[in-house]
Chains A and B, each alone.
Chain A
Amino acid sequence: MIVGLEIDGAGGDPAAWRGSEVDPRAILTGELAVRAVQRAEAAGIDFATFVDALEAPDDVPDRVSVRLDALGLAARVAPLTQRIGLLPTITVTHTEPFHVQASVATLDHISGGRGGWVADVSSSAEAAAVIGRREPASAAETWREARYVVDVSRRLWDSWEDDAIIRDASTGRYVDRDKLHYVAFESPTFSVKGPSIVPRSPQGHPITAVRVNTPEALEAAGDADLVLLPESEDLPTRLAPLVVVSVVVRPHVDGVEQLVELIAEWAAAGADGVHLRPGSLELDVPVIADELIPRLRERGLVGAADRGGSLRGRLGLGRPANRYVGSGR
């Protein structure tokens, strides 16, 4: 089983930040996230996701109503970890596709091939209002566009062939421009000329994940490498290369035995893994690391902790071929 961990403030429980074990300032310095991801990595967890949305969290005084940009937080974690995949949530409805692909490729570069993203949309009026570029759109419309963004991102990741940088001192050429490609992409709502400004990253294509939270997202999930499926959803067949079940967990209260059984059941049902959303990073992640993962390992459900290499390698996904190789221009 693949195991992922969600990073969200002090944890998913609205009151998690109030625990005496939590320094709430460490949410904003990123230290809480760093500690949780390092613990997860040491235990052998495969990837971490970082929650985000374009708009601010709800303005509720007794909850964590602030949030760091997930990409910046994941980048902050990258040099302090070695093996765990890093997938910030990035919304694409208002953000420029060209910037999205460049920053995800950069995360892959700086993490040595452990980068990815949870592609998400912004259908809310709040998100539309903070940018002011266009009216809020329905989930159907925003997800339709998101699929174009995922598509153009992958094209831009291919817009540099792996060996485009030649550094040929004899001719004075840094790149072979025949190995750089204009994507000349047109969608109903945007166009991008290309090539990317970022050379092709270690994984070729960083991992694209989609979290299913609406029927429209489920449809778009077909484009993803990795799908985070809610517990309530039936396991679909062949939705994406990897489907993991996303579940709220509180093992520091509930213990791990039930969870071990539940994960074993999902494994039997054909899920490729589990995405754990802990109530409290400070209280639950240590129990996940010290008790849950070792129990799953005993049952043969998870692999060795110290597997290195790229996230794709770790997840058993191949490195995608470049669509432009040999295409000339």
Chain B
Amino acid sequence: MSKQIHLAAHFPGVNNTTVWADPQAGSQIEFGSFRHLAETAERGTFDFFFLAEGLRLREVKGMIHDLDVVGRPESLTVLSALAAVTTHLGLAATVNSTFNEPYELAKRLSTLDHVSGGRAAWNVVTSWDAFTGENFRRGGYLDKADRYVRAQESLRIVRKLWDSWTEDQLVLDQAAGAFAREGAGAFADEGAHFDIRGRFGLPPSPQGRPVIIQAGDSEQGREFAASDADVIFSRHGTFQAGQTFYKDVKSRLPKYGRSEESLKIMPAVTVVVADTDDEAIEKAAYIREQQVSGPTALVLAELLWGRDLSAYDPDGPLPAEDPVVGSSVTQGRVGYNDPFPIVAEWRAQAEAHGWSLRQTVINQQNRQTFIGSPTTVAEAINHHVQADAADGFVLVPHLTPSGLDEFVDRVVPLLRDRGAFRDEYAGTTLRDHLGLQA
């Protein structure tokens, strides 16, 4: 049997890949949009529905960035509501470990798992910066070096709370009047960041533990994923980069006593489908044009260069200056640790093809991962998975909320025909879908 593909739907939010100006684009905020995309994903028997998080509106040169989608509802609340209108789909919330307390996270995530019948997941992200911190009591007090110390400790405690009840402590004997055994859920923990004790007020949830997703890319992030995560949400969606990342992360598992199957690698990818390959290529180019307007091209270049580039014409040549490392020209996005080789590559490509700055951004940064007819896309996706460039993908549509309709209607049946993707859900929990042990 073929290796089975895992698929997730990303609700397209704060990101310049979202084409909000398209006549087909709906609301980014209304519940109906979330519901439509979730129902589409469930119709396509996807593993889970994914929501990103941002805790401060992004800024460019001290002003709120206004070109992309701005704002979004809070994830766990949206997902708890989606639990009421879906039956099998996993529900994954990105929640920051720096600006939250483990006890509260454990309680909210366990609640989602209980009310959804075992479909909750936590994508643990670690933004620690002072910019985001200005919205929180703790401020930006965390050292970058400490972000994963706190994340790992948070996760360890959250798990401890989820495990704080033994199976036999929830009695529910109505005749005898025994709801739970005394002392159930007692916990205490002391570490570098937390010193807490008490009782956890929720018994084990249907999945035992909600699924853990990780999205960091640094050395520390990869170790964190290898030691603790069930799923990695990566940005390495292309074949070569995917295989390299896959090998790297999976090779880290044995030292934590884990099998290759216990960690699923699911890169974020974009897909453009049309009747024929040629039409899809044309459609993809059109979408990229919409995604990267002149002003957006400048902002994306500013993120790379770390400089104010407003004096440049996006339809002119690339900036001549060197990039600046660690600048705060743009705030609230993941920047580049080492921009020099990327700038050099952009320059080489621009020169070779005679591209303007905007054309360079379009071609270097926003190329869709899978483009083609339904058959081409299905074969490419299956090839990536069978050749261990990924275990599956998190699909990021460019339209809200209809952006996955075509994929589910036209590509998913072909993946099923190839025996590489489920026809129907075999189990009811997200762990079941991912083939993970409880």
Contacts and interface: CB of A to CB of B under 8 A. Distances in A.
B66 A176 contact: yes
B203 A66 contact: yes
A61 interface: yes
B137 interface: yes
A131 B187 CA distance: 12
Contacts of A176: 66
A167 B258 CA distance: 48
Contacts of A97: 137
Contact of A79 (B35, B56, B196, B201): B35
Interface stretch (B109-117, B214-222, B275-283, B411-419): B109-117
Nearest to B99: A96
Interface in A53-106: 54-57, 59-69, 71-73, 75-80, 94-99, 102-103, 105-106
B198 A174 contact: no
B56 to A, nearest CB: 7
Interface stretch (B81-89, B384-392, B422-430): B81-89
Given A24-B174, A173-B66, A65 B71 contact: no
A180 B77 contact: no
A29 B114 contact: yes
Interface in A230-259: none
B290 to A, nearest CB: 10
B330 to A, nearest CB: 15
A59 to B, nearest CB: 6
A265 interface: no
Contacts of B166: none
Contact of A62 (B134, B177, B197): B177
A192 interface: yes
Contact of B66 (A54, A64, A177, A189): A177
Nearest to A170: B21
A192 B135 contact: yes
A268 B370 CA distance: 69
B200 interface: yes
Nearest to B120: A72
Interface in A118-154: 126, 129-133
Contacts of A269: none
A193 interface: yes
Contacts of A68: 111, 114-115, 202
Q: How large is the interface on A (under 10, 10 to 19, 20 to 34, 35 or more residues)?
A: 35 or more
B74 interface: yes
A103 B77 contact: yes
Interface in B154-203: 170-172, 174-175, 177-185, 194-203
A62 B178 contact: yes
A151 to B, nearest CB: 15
B66 A175 contact: yes
Given A110-B77, A172-B293, A72 B112 contact: yes
Given A80-B84, A169-B21, A72 B77 contact: yes
A309 B104 CA distance: 33
B31 interface: yes
Interface stretch (A194-202, A208-216, A220-228, A284-292): A194-202
A66 B200 CA distance: 8
Contacts of A22: 174
B101 interface: yes
A189 B77 contact: no
Interface string B296-311: 1000000000000000
Contact of B198 (A80, A111, A126): A126
A61 B179 contact: yes
A160 interface: yes
Contacts of B184: 59, 65
A24 B179 contact: yes
B348 interface: no
Contacts of A126: 198-199
B177 A15 contact: yes
Contacts of B134: 191-193
Interface string B58-75: 000001101111111110
A18 B179 CA distance: 9
B80 A197 contact: no
Nearest to B131: A193
B117 to A, nearest CB: 7
A39 interface: no
A105 B73 contact: yes
Nearest to B187: A130
A105 B31 CA distance: 12
B54 interface: yes
B81 A172 contact: no
B71 A17 contact: no
B71 A160 contact: yes
A112 interface: yes
Nearest to B82: A79
A67 B115 CA distance: 12
A102 B295 CA distance: 30
A53 B30 CA distance: 29
A327 interface: no
B233 interface: no
B240 interface: no
Given A110-B31, A130-B197, A167-B20, 11 more contacts: A62-B179, A94-B101, A96-B99, A102-B74, A103-B76, A110-B78, A132-B197, A165-B29, A174-B69, A174-B70, A175-B71
The 6 A-B pairs of least Cβ separation, nearest first, read A56-B201, A75-B80, A72-B111, A193-B134, A132-B196, A69-B111
9 contacts: A17-B179, A55-B198, A56-B185, A60-B182, A76-B83, A110-B31, A191-B134, A192-B134, A194-B135
